[in-house]
Amino acid sequence: MSAPLLRVENLGIEFGPADAPVKAVDGVSFAMAAGETLAVVGESGSGKSVTALALTRLLATPPARYVSGAIQFQGREVMTMPAPELRALRGKQIAYIFQEPSSSLNPVFTIGYQIREAIEQHRPEVRDVRGEIVRALDLVGIRDAATRLGDYPHQLSGGMQQRVMIAMALACQPNLLVADEPTTALDVTIQKQIMDLLRELKSKTNMAILLITHNFGLVSDFADRVVVMFRGKIVESGPTAEVLRHPQHPYTRALIECVPKLGQKQRRLKVIDYAGIN
Amino acid sequence: MTTYILRRLLLVIPTLFGITLLTFLLIRLAPGNAALIKGQTGENGGHAMTAEVREQTIKLYGLDKDPLTAYGDWLVKLAHLDFGQSLVDHRPVLTKIRERIGLSVSLTGSALVLSYLIAVPVGIAAALRRGQRTDRMISFVVFLLYSIPTFVAALVLILLVAGGDYLNLLPMYGANSIDASEMSGPAWAWDRIKHMILPVICLTYGSLASISRYTRVSMLEVLGQDFLRTARAKGLSERRVIFSQALRNALIPIVTVFAMELPALIGGTIIVEEIFTLPGMGQLVFQSIEARDQFVIMGVVTISAFVTLFGYLMADILYVLVDPRIRFE
Amino acid sequence: MNAPVDESYSQRLARRFSRDALALTGFWLIILAFVLAALAPFLANNHAIVRVADGQISFPVLRSLEPIEWRFLINVPLAGLIYALRRPLFRNPQRGGLIVAVVVIVVQIALAFVQPYNDVTNDRTRPATFKLMPLIAWSPLESSPDALVGPSWNHLCGTDSTGRDVAARILHGARTSLAIGFVSQVIALGVGVTFGALAGYYRRWVDMVICRFIEVMECFPSLLLILVIIGLSDSQNNMIVIMAVIGLTGWTGTARLVRGEFLRLGGQSFPQAAQALGAGDLRVILRHLLPNSLGPILVTATFGVASAILLESSLSFLGFGMQAPTPSWGDLISEGRRFIDFAWWLVFFPGVVMLVTIMSYNFVGEGLRDAVDPRLQVK
């Protein structure tokens, strides 16, 4: 295997007081190849979002503390990277979309301006910035992109806002897109649209995608590989189909069973039985 | 947005009536006036009222009529900007106010601008260093200033820099020097500015606490927002994240708090103008209260309240204009 | 966070509050100020605390107490005692209630017989075998021949233009200033909570009317309104009037706050749940809605006390203060300002005491606000 796009080694992140730390991420290691789609699955509090934010050191310190580990992106160490280089990495190489599009967009700037900021930051060579913004909005399926430029986030629906977030992320053609629970805050039908859009973008570009989710249902036909996190640790990983078919860890089995299947009558919602895990 | 502003404008009407009603009741129910109706002058009124003045007073306030008619009559007079005449020098109240309002407005306005210029950066600095020594120092200093009564600060300042005992840098009282009428334009302006420095400082320092605390809270709220994480994830510099993205959001509520400072500032002018012998509205109303010159008191109270109401109105409209979330609704 | 899971709202407030060193210092300084004010006759008096003469022991200081001081000094500890003993006392509610009622009535009847004892003897100069004088051996109204003397061991904070001891006057003046701050805010709180609760609970036209009223009140600068009311009334120089007027012009913040909290809480389900269980309006307001807004109300009240003391000092300066026998700190300062260029102690000492008190209230208010406001908590 050639040098991976991203390699995370023994990552450890703590919160809280130093004498009684809460280990949010505890010895996590994984790697991603260019163009690969990896899903990190786990329930809230399992450390998956913290891991995602740590990739470009986006966690505020304090309260967070990076206690161990190395993060290498294209062979460069992120953990010790000086601030200017880190800024060049953020947005340009690794772009993010977040869970709550309505609060992730700044309410007092137009969407056009917010995309423009990203382009001006990382692609100073672009002369027709406006055209570039329109192209980005077109790409994520926003119609009349040229007229929506001047809209403020609150004038758009949740699904549209998330599309704007994606457009902003794609505007600088990153090598890795981190999608942190991109559909959790959205309606079910919109969820599907956004996932379809991500799938379409994946096939159009050669961008790697790190999908953070608690929903195994999204993973099955999207990700190449799956990493399952539980209480800050990786408990299982492997090709998606394999993990889905033969889950090794009881927690993984429980998560998979939580996904309601169509056409299957379910008497009650599954609840994870923690006593059986560990 | 238009409906919002229209609705806001409509709400002004009952408030306007409320202000006039309260002013009217205040004067009419004052024990001094109860005595007037009975034909006595106030015990400590100081000056004896002539029968003619008494008649005039009773007539103007309609003390001989039932309250409702009297109030109605007074409203009609107000609508014609007829505030009556001063009992002291028999000049129209409106003329007296007009002579003095300019000074008070410039005093209040300068103090407001100055306190924003100081308090907003200070508040931002405190928010960015929340819980650290800088934050605590700022909090300590602004509350220390807030806790000093205006008149004490004025006395100390006069003693230190204007009295001649220590330093004699600034004039001690008055809006201008005695020979100001012979001065050229720039010299006159410089003379006026020198006379205004101490009064403006005395009016300003008290508002620093509220505006800087407000800025701090507003900024802290914004600093916890998700969209700043988005801005950082985009690769924007920390400087840009804070001074372009965060500040824009934090300033929205701050630009509108100026109206809340107005009542305190107007109250402050009474003390400051009294100490520095400045011929403004504050001094006018204070002298009128001492002389029980009710026409002038009513005029100044009504106009002060109207000005404050106008301030609130401006603040609300400004809010709509600067916040896109309301502007496009 | 490592916060205990089962702590109550007030415990959580106390924990967060006590992390703030300034606020905590302010809190204890206020307590100290109240204790010193309550014990003023024992701390600054020309009557000895204990005097032994002619083989007899006497406590002259007790004879200098006014009936109202007796009532205060007996009733406040009594209330504290009853509160401390509430558990054993009210284990049997009927018997406990009876005991408390009898004790309270007997004490009040006894207090009604206390007569002012106009004792003009001065133990400072009166010879005795043994005497224990208060820390400051001067009464606040007592003139000495040394007028305008600077601080010395005899007069810790100097004397004023008629030779009265400034330290004694500050100590006794604390009662006036603290009472003005406290009582005026109790009034403001009462009016504000009532209007705010009515507006927030009944909404619709009640809310509409009260909101307009609040806005009208907020258009008048408090100082102007107070000056006009006191200036035009014939009952000047009356402490009660000043307290009432400051309270009646300063309630709008509380009203807005309570209204806002009620509107917010009204949308939640628990008032409805209480109503569904058959609770009346008053009960829902008092038992369910009001406790939830207590924190923010306390914050405004604390800041209110600070501004009331400030406001009273401004009134004193403008000549509309009270001419009570024991003047407020504001009166002391404005009296002293005429001599400021050579008798700095007249303004300095009362000024510093007032400053520290006002700052203490402000820091307590600030600490409370940080403790109450969930948005400002470190995540």
Q: Give ipTM to 2 decimals.
A: 0.84
- Which residue would you say has higher pLDDT here, B26 or A269? B26
Sheet with A37-41: strands ordered across: A94-97, A176-180, A208-213, A37-41, A225-230, A233-239
* Per-residue pLDDT tens over the stretch B51-69: 666 676 666 656 667 777 8
Instruction: Judge: B163–C366 Cβ closer than 8 Å, yes or no.
Output: no
> Does the residue C68 lie in any domain?
no
What is the nearest CA distance from A19 to chain C, expressed in angstroms?
11
Q: Report, as ranges of residue numbers, the positions in chain C whose pLDDT lies below 70.
A: 1-7, 234-237, 267-279, 323-326, 374-379
What tokens appear for A78 in the block? 């992120």
pLDDT at residue C181, rounded to an integer: 92
Q: Is A84 on the interface with C (CB under 8 A)?
A: no
Give how many domains chain C has, as a whole number.
Answer: 1
Residue of B nearest to A119 (CA): B234
Instruction: Judge: C334–B306 Cβ closer than 8 Å, yes or no.
Output: no
Helices (H), chain C: 9-18, 21-38, 40-43, 60-63, 67-84, 86-89, 93-112, 166-202, 204-219, 222-232, 239-249, 252-266, 269-276, 281-283, 290-317, 329-336, 345-372
pLDDT at residue B44, rounded to an integer: 42
pLDDT at residue B42, rounded to an integer: 43
pLDDT at residue C134, rounded to an integer: 83
Average pLDDT in chain B: 83
Find residues 231-260 of chain B whose CB sits inside 8 Å of chain C: none
> Does the residue C246 lie in any domain?
yes
> Does the residue C56 lie in any domain?
no
What is the helix (H) or strand (E) element at residue A27, kind and residue range? strand A22-32
pLDDT at residue B119, rounded to an integer: 93
pLDDT at position B166 over 90: no
Question: Lowest-confidence range among A254-263, B188-197, C100-109?
Answer: A254-263
- Percent of chain B scored above 90 by pLDDT? 19
What is the nearest CA distance from B299 to chain C, expressed in angstroms?
12
Region A64-76 average pLDDT:
83
What is the nearest CA distance from B270 to chain C, expressed in angstroms?
8
pLDDT at residue B43, rounded to an integer: 43
Separation between Cα atoms, residue A77 and residue A82, nearest integer Å: 10
Q: Is B232 on the interface with A (CB under 8 A)?
A: yes
* Per-residue pLDDT tens over the stretch C277-304: 666 777 777 777 777 778 888 888 999 9
* Per-residue pLDDT tens over the stretch B87-120: 778 888 888 899 899 999 999 999 999 999 999 9
Nearest partner of B212 among B109, B263, B140, B308, judged by Cα:
B140
What is the helix (H) or strand (E) element at residue A39, kind and residue range? strand A37-41
What's the CATH number where C231 sits? 1.10.3720.10
Residue of C nearest to B309 (CA): C219
Separation between Cα atoms, residue A86 and residue A93, nearest integer Å: 10
What is the nearest CA distance from C37 to chain A, expressed in angstroms?
43
What tokens appear for A32 in the block? 């991603």
pLDDT at residue B46, rounded to an integer: 43
Burial class (CB in 10 A: 0-12, 13-18, 19+), B263: buried
Question: Lowest-confidence range among A158-167, B55-64, B186-195, C341-350?
Answer: B55-64
> Does the residue C208 lie in any domain?
yes
What is the span of the domain harbouring residue C270?
152-379
Residue of B nearest to C214 (CA): B15
What is the nearest CA distance from A90 to chain B, expressed in angstroms?
5
pLDDT at residue C344, rounded to an integer: 84
Average pLDDT in chain A: 81
- Which residue would you say has higher pLDDT here, A116 or B165? A116
Enter the pTM of the model.
0.81
Q: Is B229 on the interface with C (CB under 8 A)?
A: no
* Per-residue pLDDT tens over the stretch B65-83: 777 787 888 788 888 888 8
Instruction: Judge: A20–C2 Cβ closer than 8 Å, yes or no.
Output: yes
Which of B30, B31, B270 is closest, CB to CB, to C223?
B270
Using DSSP, state whether A208 is helix, strand or coil.
strand
> Does the residue C53 lie in any domain?
no
> Does the residue C366 lie in any domain?
yes
Chains that touch C (3 or more CB pairs under 8 A): A, B
* Per-residue pLDDT tens over the stretch B121-158: 999 999 988 878 888 899 899 989 998 989 889 888 88
Find residues 230-289 of chain C whose CB sits inside 8 Å of chain B: 231-236
What tokens appear for C309 in the block? 């003391």
Residue A265: pLDDT band (50, 70, 90) is: low
Omega within 30 of 0 (cis) for the link into A63: yes
What tokens appear for C138 in the block? 């001067």
Q: Is A21 on the interface with C (CB under 8 A)?
A: no
Q: Which residues of C touch B294 (CB under 8 A)?
A: 232
Residue of C nearest to B146 (CA): C359
> Does the residue C320 lie in any domain?
yes
Using DSSP, state whether B42 is helix, strand or coil.
coil
Instruction: Judge: C2–A17 Cβ closer than 8 Å, yes or no.
Output: yes
Separation between Cα atoms, residue B230 and residue A84, nearest integer Å: 17
Q: Which domains does chain B have, with CATH numbers?
A: 93-322 (1.10.3720.10)
The Cα-based distances of B216 to A212, B121, B207, B254, C278 in angstroms read 35, 9, 14, 10, 44
Q: Is B234 on the interface with A (CB under 8 A)?
A: yes
